[in-house]
Amino acid sequence: MELNSAIPEGSVQDKWGNHLEHVKLVGPNNRPSYDVIVVGSGLAGASAASSLAAQGYNVHCFCFQDTPRRAHSIAAQGGINAAKNYREDGDTIYRLFYDTQKGGDFRAREANVYRLAQLSTRIIDQATAQGVPFAREYGGHLANRSFGGVLVSRTFYCRGQTGQQLLLGAYQSMQRQIFDGKLTMHPRTELQDIVTIDGRARGIVVRDLVTGEIKSHAADAVVLASGGYGNVYFKSTNAINSNVTAAWRAHRRGAAFANPSYIQIHPTCIPVSGNFQCKLTLMSESLRNDGRVWVPKQKGDTRAPSQIPESERYYYLEEKYPSFGNLVPRDVASRNAKLVCDDGFGVEGSDSRAVYLDFKDAISRQGKDVISEKYGNLFDMYEEITAQNPYQSPFKIYPAVHYCMGGLWVDYNLMTNIPGLYAVGEANFSDHGANRLGASSLMQCLADGYFVLPQTIGNYLHDIFRDKVGTDHPAFRQHEADAKDRIDRLMSIGGSQTPLSLHRKLGDIVWEHCGMARNGEGLKSAIDQIAEVRDEFWNDLHIPGGADGVNQSLERAGRVADFIELADLMCHDALDRDESCGCHFREEHQTPEGEVVRNDEKFSNVSAWEFKGEGQAHVKHCEPIEYDLLKPMTRSYK
């Protein structure tokens, strides 16, 4: 396997500009003769599909939901970053690049991150033109808020529903293209396989989730915008149907999977409440703008929070990180919450795995009305779920699985190592290194979909002009037969455990050993336990109903089968990366204060894993990370 990152010549600042001047193009007259498949309709998929269709390509977009507007990007709350410097507080393109690289603990590709920072400002322009109702100040200009890991105020927002509004903007652009006949939407359709012919991506095999029918679609290029795989943990902030299947099927057909163990655990979530819970609820990081995080100084303190005087409270983030305080990056905030709870300072309920997030000072300083206008929906949501009023007593929070920095390996053009197969948004690995900063995922998804892919896809399509393959090619028959076989195999096991119960079992193992803290011993034991779950799955699975028509148990079973294989790779990746960096906290590598210790000499690289076949060990390929503009330093938020 050859990994060519295709980073253009020139200084980091000039690479994107140079690239655009030399990239090959497809003329408007020829674009309608190209078919492009987009899998997924979230921010990355919808923005890519609508942009490509508007350019004139013939686009087919697939999603498993009943309409593209329900993709999980819709749940992003807090905001989207852009280096507009509207506050005149020292923001620049370089500063956004710097923050992202530092936030990612110097494990991201410099050229990609700089391009992301450059494109960030145009996203705000684009979304505003689409009618996205960003928050405005009284003078009519755009408002900003702050997010973790930065010292400027560069986050744009629509109340607590920024993802929803940006997604609806992209969705509406798609609907317009559908009206014009340039885009065909295939809802309630799930990918089963990627079809490669002579080493190139030529189409996909899908299952119609309503009829159960297996069908093929041929195309000149396939774009995966299928999101992240946080649901490997069973309990996560992802939508319950979010899955790794599209990315994993591509991986099994030869696409390298990069840094699978880089998982972001979001610090401000509602703590786990019971065994039957299958979904964790996140509350926007923006709460840390005004809320103060603390635990009682006395272990096992059972007093109500209001009864605990100031002098007996431990504001651990403010004390340990005076310059960033409560706005440290997510990995740091999460790890410290875990540490204080491990040490027995967690607050009552949820097995003492929770800390306080307190708005008492903010309410007395700014007034309840102001706080309510800023965060009202989050306060309501918390009360609805926990039946406690956060205006009166502090929120109880605990970290939960949220985002995957890892994903399919892509080059600078966002193409995987399979020619013609692209990955955009959370599905790729490219821009966030070992930890993503808040409000940067929306930015990356939309930069990929609106501005990068539409300019780089022509570079590939230009070279394959008039080289068409249809679904009558035998490879499609073969892939369809494979997909049917797999479904038959799943349906015929006839055991006793449901996909949901096996999924929960898998999730508990991965959370325990490959979650917020990892160590060699634990990872090895997790690998053994995952193998056991895999055996149980393929020998004792029970799927009620039949394979014709709607069968949600079958859908879940297919996803869990892929999660089991992914979990194994995640643990191998975490075991192999014998250093700590960003979210990847190997307990063997920490300072006495519990901060991460990187090993730049050995691990300044991307681990891209190659699938070698069923039951065979994956093979690692390393893409070295080069630092031209910003040399790695010890990441400090003190």
Partner 1 sequence: MISLTLHVWRQKGPEVRGSFETYRMKDVDPEISFLEMMDLLNEQLAGDGKVPVVFDSDCREGICGSCSMVVNGRPHGPGEACTTCQVRMRQFNDGDELWIEPFRARAFPLVRDLMVNRSALDRVIESGGYISVHSGPKPEPNSIPISHPVAEEAMDAAECIGCGACVAACPNASAMLFTSAKVHHLNLLPQGQPEAKSRVLNMVHKMDEERFGACTNLAECQDACPKDISIRFISAMNRDYQLAALVDPIKRKGTLESQ
For the bound state, the minimum distance from the C-beta of residue 132 to partner 1, rounded and expressed in Å, comes to 8
Please give the structure tokens belonging to residue 273.
């409440």
Q: By CB under 8 A, name the one of 13, 33, 184, 241 that touches partner 1.
A: 241
Site for partner 1 in 6-35 (CB under 8 A): none
Stretch touching partner 1 by CB under 8 A, among 181-189, 225-233, 400-408, 468-476: 181-189
Site for partner 1 in 504-563 (CB under 8 A): 542, 544-545, 549-550, 552-553
Residue 133 in contact with partner 1, rule: CB under 8 A: yes
Closest CA to 65 of 206, 171, 188, 208: 188
Stretch touching partner 1 by CB under 8 A, among 6-14, 53-61, 244-252, 597-605: 53-61
**Tokens 């696409």, located at residue:** 255
Q: Which is nearer to partner 1, 352 or 605 (CB)?
A: 352
CB 46 within 8 A of CB 170: yes
CA distance 515 to 525: 14
- DSSP, collapsed to helix, strand or coil, labels residue 420 as coil
CB 343 within 8 A of CB 331: no
CA 432 to mean position of chain CA atoms:
10
CB 99 within 8 A of CB 149: yes
CA distance 25 to 22: 9
Residue 494 in contact with partner 1, rule: CB under 8 A: no
Let me know if 292 is a catalytic residue.
no
Residue 272 in contact with partner 1, rule: CB under 8 A: no
Site string for partner 1, 559-598 (x = CB under 8 A): ----------------------------------------
Q: By CB under 8 A, name the one of 3, 6, 23, 75 that touches partner 1.
A: 75
Site string for partner 1, 357-386 (x = CB under 8 A): ------------------------x--xx-
CB 99 within 8 A of CB 417: no
Residue 180 in contact with partner 1, rule: CB under 8 A: yes
Site for partner 1 in 294-323 (CB under 8 A): none
> How many residues bind to partner 1 according to rule CB under 8 A?
82
At residue 546, φ and ψ (nearest 5 deg) are: -115, 175
- DSSP, collapsed to helix, strand or coil, labels residue 165 as helix
Residue 471 in contact with partner 1, rule: CB under 8 A: no
- Angle, to 10 degrees, between the axis of helix 162-179 and the axis of helix 110-129? 70
Stretch touching partner 1 by CB under 8 A, among 13-21, 45-53, 297-305, 388-396: 45-53
Residue 128 in contact with partner 1, rule: CB under 8 A: yes
The 8-class DSSP code of residue 136 comes to B
CA distance 258 to 510: 18
CB 251 within 8 A of CB 406: no
Q: By CB under 8 A, name the one of 13, 30, 184, 281 that touches partner 1.
A: 281
Q: By CB under 8 A, name the one of 12, 158, 219, 571 that touches partner 1.
A: 158
Q: Which residue in 31, 70, 107, 330 is the catalytic one? A: 330
The set of residues, in sequence order, having a beta carbon less than 8 Å from that of 369 and lying 6+ positions away, is none
Residue 463 in contact with partner 1, rule: CB under 8 A: no
Q: By CB under 8 A, name the one of 141, 299, 303, 368 that touches partner 1.
A: 141
Q: By CB under 8 A, name the one of 491, 500, 547, 629 that touches partner 1.
A: 500
Q: By CB under 8 A, name the one of 129, 307, 614, 624 that touches partner 1.
A: 129
Closest CA to 43 of 185, 184, 225: 225
- Angle, to 10 degrees, between the axis of helix 520-540 and the axis of helix 499-514? 170
Catalytic positions, written as ranges: 330
